[in-house]
């Protein structure tokens, strides 16, 4: 895989930075076809091992069908961690509740964090890289 790869789908953009970072920037509404592309990208970049993801959702929304597809089809083994940018208190509480439910079902063991800037997210990921991957 190239050291840097980019995708554009709808108004959204994603790019991969070797060795293990996927940055996704969402603009406007995300529909089911966008979620399908997100799943395809995540599967592709994690082919050689789990990746960290930064998702900037500050200028976006996601419809119910698109969100349900991501929850149903995302594979925990694709990820070492996921950091969200641009979430307000209500979005954070909802995401934490969803992640807690997934943890209890055993379907999701990936750390989910929130940051206020991409720099903060990158610093958090740099610290997590020093920790051994979860089994």
Q: Which residue has the tokens 């995302």?
A: 74
Q: Which residues of 77-110 are buried (b: 16+ CB within 10 A; e: fewer)?
A: ebbbbbbbbbbeeeeeeebeeeeeebeeeeebeb
Cα–Cα dist 45/49, whole Å: 8
Q: What does pLDDT average to in each consecutive run of 10 residues of the chain (135 residues)?
A: 83 96 94 95 95 91 84 88 83 66 69 91 95 72
d(CA 95, CA 64): 14
pTM of the model: 0.87
Q: What is the pLDDT of residue 76?
A: 86
**CA of residue 51 relative to chain centroid, distance:** 9
At 63 the pLDDT is: 84
CB 95 within 8 A of CB 87: yes
Whole-number pLDDT of residue 134:
65
Please state, as a whole number, how many other Cβ atoms lie within 10 Å of the Cβ of residue 38. 26
């Amino acid at each position: 895989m190239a050291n840097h790869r980019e995708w554009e789908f709808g108004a959204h953009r994603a790019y991969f930075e070797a060795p293990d970072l996927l940055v996704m920037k969402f603009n406007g509404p995300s529909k089911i076809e966008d979620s399908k592309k997100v799943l395809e990208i995540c599967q592709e970049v994690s082919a050689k091992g789990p990746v960290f993801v930064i998702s900037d959702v500050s200028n976006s929304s996601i419809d119910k069908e698109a969100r349900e597809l991501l929850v149903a089809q995302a594979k925990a083994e694709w990820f070492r961690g996921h950091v969200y940018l641009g979430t307000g208190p209500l979005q954070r509480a909802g995401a934490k509740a969803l992640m807690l439910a997934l943890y209890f079902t055993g379907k999701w063991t990936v750390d989910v964090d929130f940051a206020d800037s991409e720099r903060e997210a990158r610093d958090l990921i740099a610290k997590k890289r020093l920790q051994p991957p979860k089994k």
